[in-house]
Structure 1
Amino acid sequence: MAKLLYNLGKWVYERPKRVLAFWVLAIVIMTSLALNLGINFKGDMTIPGTKSEKAGKVLQKAFGKGKDQGSIRLIFKVKDGKSFDDTSVKEAVNKLITKVQDNDKAVIAVSDPYKTGTINSTRKIGYADITYKVPADDVKNSSKNKVLNSLKITRNKGIKTELGGSVKLSGTTVEGTSEAVSIVVAFFILVITFGSLLAAGLPIVTALIGLAAGLMGVILATNFFSMSSLSISLASMVGLAVGIDYALFIVSRFRQNVSDGNEIKEALALAMGTAGSSVLFAGTTVIIALCGLSLVGVPFLGVMGLAAAFVVFSVILVSLTAVPAVIRLTGKHIAPRKKKKANVKEKNKESNLWGRFVTKHPVIIILAVILLAVGISYSALDMQLGLPDNATKPKNSTERKGYDIIAEGFGKGFNGKLVVVVDGRKAGSNSQKAIQNSANKIKDLSDIASMTPPIPNKTGKIAIINIIPKSGPNDEKTKDLVKDIRNLSSDTEKTNDVKLMVTGTTAVNIDISDKLAQALPEFAIVVLGLAFVLMTIVFRSILVPIKAVLGFLMTLGATMGFAVLTLHKGNFAELLGIPRAAPILCFIPIIAVGILFGLAMDYEVFLVSRMRENYTKTGDAKKSVTSGIKLGGTVVSAAGLIMISVFASFATNGDINLKSMGLPLAFGIFFDAFIVRMTFVPAVMALLGNKAWYMPKWLDKILPKFDIEGDSLPKEEGAA
């Protein structure tokens, strides 16, 4: 591999303008296609085969319903001593309802709270539902804007009017602010690292080329595959971070090669053979981890992983082609001054302060890191998973205000209604009586605020019951109520030949969370097994992979512990801009496993490969550790800071989905890069000494060779 990339570096050196022209042309073509076809993000966070999904199918078939129709809920709160019975209030509400219905052909109907009785007992709070002809995802922005513009009718009369419903009024979007902030921060980090404005700008430019190519591909794919807008957010986050980092590794190695006395062309080829090999291996690891999300059995999660993997693939291609092309065109200006060979030899014997400290006190440092990881990870035992609802929207959003008004007027459980499908087809002629008897048993369950009588379909064999819990949608008591109803089904099937099934948004969210929680251990085992195999092949060692896996486990545990402390328990909520403490977004643990695994292996490869490179040349295990920290530590630290800045910038986004991803990942990168890789790893390597590189001869013979240290290059090319 090193030889192949070494030759690729020389090939690009001779054709830099052609390579860059290719990427510019590719981006132009894909952008043109995207503009012509449009952007069509669709797709819900659903999982086929869950209990709630099966109940939904029975419900649709029994009551003749097709795909769910979109709805917007108009939520009113009367102030200033008035009530819904006041003439002025009634006139304003009716005027708003009439305008919304008459002003949009997409609207089927708007319910009248006075006729439907959707006014609370104090007559201060009520709501009206707008029903559309199309599903929620297909409601056009023009229809949403008509509703928003009509709200002034009631608001001008002193009636607080907010919105809710299934139609997304403020979705997950990436407007460019997060990327812009992270790019500025990354640029300053690179300036400090390289001491050159031009050298600092190179990784930024090439990363943007790779990101643009990848994102255009994802946007084109939205016309052929069902994909939520959250997919492009994740792809942007990961693609930008690895794009800058991969270019950083190659540019840094090129500058070192020039400093060691190599000419520009040879320095570039050697950088491609060594750092380029590490980039290819590390990037492939990230892609495998992201594609592995498809194995979880959750369609929307698999699509998210594939979209992010495609962007990373584009970034790798750009890193291995456009980066050396730009280096060729700017090489003389970004290269440091060559140093005398005598000084080079003396410099290589040196180690930095951190390397000497870590190798001097390995046992103390190892114990300290383990205790720190365990202390933070302990909170992960309290982790609860869920899906975001309007309660987790920013406090100033209309959805959050509407959610709070409904909870105030009708109780917390009103925002999390449960739909129970009562299937009495097996009861035959006694189905109606059996359905009623089963409904009576449901009444005895706890945490039910209100419950409607069974509403039968035309055949009378199947009925639905609407239940409003006492607790909120993401509360544990609501989850227990869903489980209690499903457990009760075994009893009603025996005594009444009636099956009880629970569906509705709340039940769907509960099932998705449970499914992902069950899939997490299996996915983690696959990822850890993959890590062990890959590390064994690359580093020709048994103990180094074990250490890498243990380090990743500490990172994962600490990341989940931090997420629980902040997102779930609400610690530092004001500081971090968390709207409301809530269960962890259900797919975050699996996303964290996939992304952190790939990035952790990045740092492991870039740091430990420098140690192995020195060890194979000198045979001195301890000096190889200090040398690896000195030569690779600065670059890994800069890469870690860039990753943190990217994820942290997304964590500042008001959308809870992006915040729930960005915040834990930013902490996870910090913990992995600086606590695990830069502290724990060198301490363990120093403690193990030569044993760290032990490899049974029989195993070494059968494993494939993957040269990322460039061992073959000096011998074959005579490079210094």
Structure 2
Amino acid sequence: MTGEAGPVSGPGGRATRPERLVRLLSRWRFALLALTVLVTIGLGAVGMGVFGKLSGGGWTPADSDSARADSLLREHFRSGSPDLVLLVEAPGSVDEPQAAAAGRHLTERLRADARVQHLDSYWPQGDPALVSRDRRTALISLRLRGGEHATAAAAEDIRRETATGTAPLKASAAGRAVAKRDLEKQSQHDLVRAELIAAPLVLLILVWIFGNVLSALLALSVGGIAVVGTLALLHALTEFTQVSIFAVNLTTALGFGLAIDYGLFIITRHREELAAGRDVRQAVLVSVRTAGRTVFFSAVTVTLSMAALLVFPMYFLRSLAYAGMSVAALAGLTAVLVLPVCLLAAGHRVNGRRGPSPSSGEGTESADAERGFFFRTARIVMRRPFLTVILVAPALLCLAAPFQRVEFGLSDDRALPASSPVHRATDVLRNDFDTQATAMASIVLPGLTSPSSRSLSEYAREVSLTAHVVRVDTATGSYAGGDRQAPPTQSSARFSGASGGWLSVVTDAEPFSAEGGELVGALRAVPAPVPALVGGDAAALVDTRAAVGERLGPAVGIIVLVIFTLLFLFTGSVLIPVKALLLNLLSLTATFGAIVHVFQDGNLRWLVGDFLVTGTTDTLLPVLMFCITFGVSMDYEMFLLSRIMEEHRRTGDTTSAVAFGLERTGRLFTAAALVLAITMAAMATSGLTPLKLLGVGLTLAVVLDATLVRMLLVPAIMKMAGRANWWCPRPLRYVHARFGVSETEARATA
């Protein structure tokens, strides 16, 4: 029985590896605590440097046609999406003498700036594409020198410099460089706010659970060490690869959530063993053998589930994989190595008024369990298992139904809050400028030796015949409906260069729509004089969806293989891993459906906070949620299974084992789910739509998993399966005996 204060050594009285580890930790506990504090402080100093080195993109594969087209436009044609767009507003018309003079002066000042690589301005040529329909606002479009961080810093400086000293004109800024800087500022602001919301709430909940401030602080410290270590690792990674801005937010939310889960499980088991009469070192040893083993399997599962994101070529997902893998691994290591040292040093001071009472024997423990809420719930469910499944499963499927109408898109400036200056300025571009109100695509023809040749003219005519194409501009003129509408002008020279030529395609199709995707396919199908690269927002979405579709199968395969293998090694059962995978998939699709209903369709905005409804769901976020949720849900699965298995080995009765296991862990994983839900819900307070969506989605997934799945569906299905829960074919029994948890070890830990 779990609470018996018997010997804890291995067979023959030999010290087991956990016992040798605990002896070592006990002997050097104060030195190890001092070393841990010093290392954590050092890592914290390193980790703080990660801010300012993060990137705001990474949504599209770097080797895709659209990304290559954008790169060629920037490097060889000084064109493509500008880094900074200044919207210069005049009191009256931008053509009035005073306004025009100020505009020319501003243009020349910027043209002479060493940070500016290329500039297009309404002044002095008066390009109609660069003036609003009411002629009160003109554009100055700039491409800046340097990489992503250099252009973002330069754009921020230019925005600040042009905010004053341009009278009578008034300038505001849009463009991806200032959007990146605003994303970074908003992300840091949201991070601080989320921690200010979550930290005190989590601490209060932990104090309520433990009835002891020291135990609560120990659980929090596991999260703090894991987060600090991960930030230091991310800082190091920025020297070798791009790391997304959102990696830091995920690190704090997932790190504190997981680490506190692990701390809860180990501290609770330690307190149970103390209450059962073991001394401090024996209690730590049993906790490491039982709860520590569960935490180890859980941390490995989450780490490998997050590793599935590495199969995708987008650095947005890859950098979040680095963050998730690191924080899960560090949380697990801290929980099984550092936390036992803290418990050895704390002694009996971790007990509190809510600590479990010592059990006098099996009958007392059974009687206590039978009076518990979770025991009674399990018994009620298992009396009518078929009815439970019939009622709960269709409810989850109803939640999943909206996912059938999902429309995928990509995040842009509209991910920023509506109050953002960049968001407001970009809305003006969309609404007040004719050429900006339509979608733009680009076709790059690298290696085209004669940009003014007849072949280019014929190609432009063919492109202009494509559905949804309004106009095509290139070195040989402007085309529409298969005819040349205007001869080349002085500005047409920008469409050619030593590296080839390119075409600007004005369309009436929204980029993130079915028509936009069809247009990209049609443009790529038009025979070109040289291999063509189609770029633009619509092409970026098509390439991203193709990359996700191509790599989704391997990613899902990795997660399925990891979870099945680890759960099999943990339980020795074939059915239990299959059951876990199917139930996780059911709750996850329900979460996806709710996300579409809220964020794509715009329902319940009052409940989750204001955001801009674009009618699309970001292509990459469901993939990210899939990997995180599958990993995190294994926490509760393993917490519950560990106690069910202990009871089943003692009694051989699956029904009573499930009821006792749920009673022993129900309060624990409910509290853990509440803590994790709070950290994720705090992330949902973000002003950035992707973080808000991720926070709401993960919160809902955790709540569904801890209630409908873990409390209702798991007992019902295990009751229906009966003895089949523990079935294992003969060849796999050898595998489990060789690599899994042996029966001898299981009995030693019970």
| TM-score between the two structures when normalised by the length of structure 2 | 0.86
Superposition CA RMSD, Å: 3.2
For residue 445 of structure 1, give the secondary structure of its aligned residue in structure 2. coil
Matches within 5 A, 1:494-573: 497=529, 499-573=531-605
For residue 285 of structure 1, report the CA deviation from its aligned partner.
Answer: 0.7
* Structure 1 residues 391 and 51, CA gap change in structure 2 (3 angstroms): same
* Structure 1 residues 181 and 638, CA gap change in structure 2 (3 angstroms): same
Is the CA contact (8 Å cut-off) linking 2:313 and 2:547 kept in structure 1? no
Matches within 5 A, 1:537-686: 537-582=569-614, 583-686=616-719
For residue 183 of structure 2, give the secondary structure of its aligned residue in structure 1. coil
2:241 paired with 1:232:
no
Is the CA contact (8 Å cut-off) linking 1:70 and 1:139 kept in structure 2? no
Q: Distance in 2 between matches of 1:101 and 1:360?
A: 79
AA partner of residue 61 (structure 2): I
For residue 417 of structure 1, give the secondary structure of its aligned residue in structure 2. strand
Matched residue, 1:26 = 39
Aligned equivalent of 1:483, options 495, 517, 521? 521
Is the CA contact (8 Å cut-off) linking 1:214 and 1:315 kept in structure 2? no
For residue 25 of structure 1, give the secondary structure of its aligned residue in structure 2. helix
Q: Distance in 2 between matches of 1:67 and 1:233?
A: 34
Deviations 1:613-656 (CA, angstroms, capped at 9, x unpaired)? 11111111111111111101111111111111111111111122
2:337 paired with 1:316:
no
Q: Distance in 2 between matches of 1:438 and 1:461?
A: 18
2:467 paired with 1:467:
no
Deviations 1:343-380 (CA, angstroms, capped at 9, x unpaired)? 33532455433223322222122122211221122221
Deviations 1:83-141 (CA, angstroms, capped at 9, x unpaired)? 22234543554455456566x54234554313251113431333112332223432363
For residue 571 of structure 1, give the secondary structure of its aligned residue in structure 2. coil
Matches within 5 A, 1:89-108: 89-94=99-104, 96-97=106-107, 105-108=114-117
Matches within 5 A, 1:12-411: 12-33=25-46, 40-42=53-55, 44-45=57-58, 46-56=60-70, 64=76, 71-77=83-89, 82-94=92-104, 96-97=106-107, 105-108=114-117, 110-114=119-123, 115=125, 117=127, 118-139=130-151, 141=153, 144-153=156-165, 157=168, 159=170, 161-167=172-178, 168-172=180-184, 173-174=187-188, 175-335=191-351, 336=355, 338-342=357-361, 343-344=364-365, 346-348=367-369, 350-352=371-373, 353-411=376-434
Matched residue, 2:462 = 441
For residue 539 of structure 1, report the CA deviation from its aligned partner.
Answer: 1.1
Q: Distance in 1 between matches of 2:570 and 2:211?
A: 32
Is the CA contact (8 Å cut-off) linking 1:653 and 1:659 kept in structure 2? yes
AA partner of residue 95 (structure 2): D
Q: Distance in 2 between matches of 1:255 and 1:661?
A: 35
AA partner of residue 641 (structure 2): V
AA partner of residue 395 (structure 2): L
Is the deviation greater in 175-184 or in 67-76?
Answer: 67-76
* Structure 1 residues 711 and 573, CA gap change in structure 2 (3 angstroms): farther
For residue 421 of structure 1, report the CA deviation from its aligned partner.
Answer: 2.2
AA partner of residue 341 (structure 1): S
Q: Distance in 2 between matches of 1:243 and 1:571?
A: 33
For residue 274 of structure 1, report the CA deviation from its aligned partner.
Answer: 0.4
Q: Distance in 1 between matches of 2:83 and 2:71?
A: 20
Is the CA contact (8 Å cut-off) linking 1:250 and 1:276 kept in structure 2? yes
For residue 171 of structure 1, give the secondary structure of its aligned residue in structure 2. helix
Deviations 1:197-235 (CA, angstroms, capped at 9, x unpaired)? 332222112221222122222223322333232223322
* Structure 1 residues 434 and 145, CA gap change in structure 2 (3 angstroms): closer
Q: Distance in 2 between matches of 1:38 and 1:137?
A: 12
For residue 13 of structure 1, report the CA deviation from its aligned partner.
Answer: 3.1
Q: Distance in 2 between matches of 1:232 and 1:48?
A: 22
AA partner of residue 562 (structure 1): A
Matches within 5 A, 1:451-462: 451-454=472-475, 462=500
Matched residue, 2:441 = 418
AA partner of residue 26 (structure 1): V
AA partner of residue 465 (structure 2): D
Deviations 1:593-616 (CA, angstroms, capped at 9, x unpaired)? 211111111111111221111111
For residue 485 of structure 1, report the CA deviation from its aligned partner.
Answer: 0.9
Deviations 1:119-168 (CA, angstroms, capped at 9, x unpaired)? 134313331123322234323636514422532456x7585734334442
Aligned equivalent of 2:732, options 699, 704, 715? 699
For residue 305 of structure 1, report the CA deviation from its aligned partner.
Answer: 0.6
Q: Distance in 1 between matches of 2:50 and 2:638?
A: 41
Is the deviation greater in 224-233 or in 274-283?
Answer: 224-233
* Structure 1 residues 534 and 228, CA gap change in structure 2 (3 angstroms): same
Is the CA contact (8 Å cut-off) linking 1:162 and 1:401 kept in structure 2? no
* Structure 1 residues 89 and 358, CA gap change in structure 2 (3 angstroms): farther
For residue 84 of structure 1, give the secondary structure of its aligned residue in structure 2. coil
Deviations 1:41-100 (CA, angstroms, capped at 9, x unpaired)? 34841414322234456657xx83589897211124556xx3222345435544554565
* Structure 1 residues 467 and 431, CA gap change in structure 2 (3 angstroms): closer
Is the deviation greater in 241-250 or in 47-56?
Answer: 47-56
Q: Distance in 1 between matches of 2:21 and 2:370?
A: 32
Aligned length: 703
Q: Distance in 1 between matches of 2:524 and 2:381?
A: 56
Deviations 1:2-34 (CA, angstroms, capped at 9, x unpaired)? 953454334323332222222222223334556
Q: Distance in 1 between matches of 2:399 and 2:742?
A: 35
AA partner of residue 611 (structure 2): P
Unpaired runs of 5+ residues, structure 2, are 1-8, 11-15, 476-491
Is the CA contact (8 Å cut-off) linking 1:520 and 1:589 kept in structure 2? no
Q: Distance in 2 between matches of 1:571 and 1:13?
A: 55
Is the CA contact (8 Å cut-off) linking 2:378 and 2:711 kept in structure 1? no
Q: Distance in 2 between matches of 1:480 and 1:41?
A: 34
Deviations 1:219-262 (CA, angstroms, capped at 9, x unpaired)? 23322333232223322322221111111110111112222232
Unpaired runs of 5+ residues, structure 1, are none
* Structure 1 residues 576 and 157, CA gap change in structure 2 (3 angstroms): farther
* Structure 1 residues 450 and 518, CA gap change in structure 2 (3 angstroms): same
Q: Distance in 2 between matches of 1:169 and 1:54?
A: 24
Matched residue, 2:13 = none
| TM-score between the two structures when normalised by the length of structure 1 | 0.89
* Structure 1 residues 434 and 473, CA gap change in structure 2 (3 angstroms): same
Is the deviation greater in 89-98 or in 668-677?
Answer: 89-98
Q: Distance in 2 between matches of 1:513 and 1:484?
A: 17
Q: Distance in 2 between matches of 1:649 and 1:590?
A: 21
* Percent of paired sites with the same residue: 22
For residue 695 of structure 1, give the secondary structure of its aligned residue in structure 2. coil
* Structure 1 residues 415 and 255, CA gap change in structure 2 (3 angstroms): farther
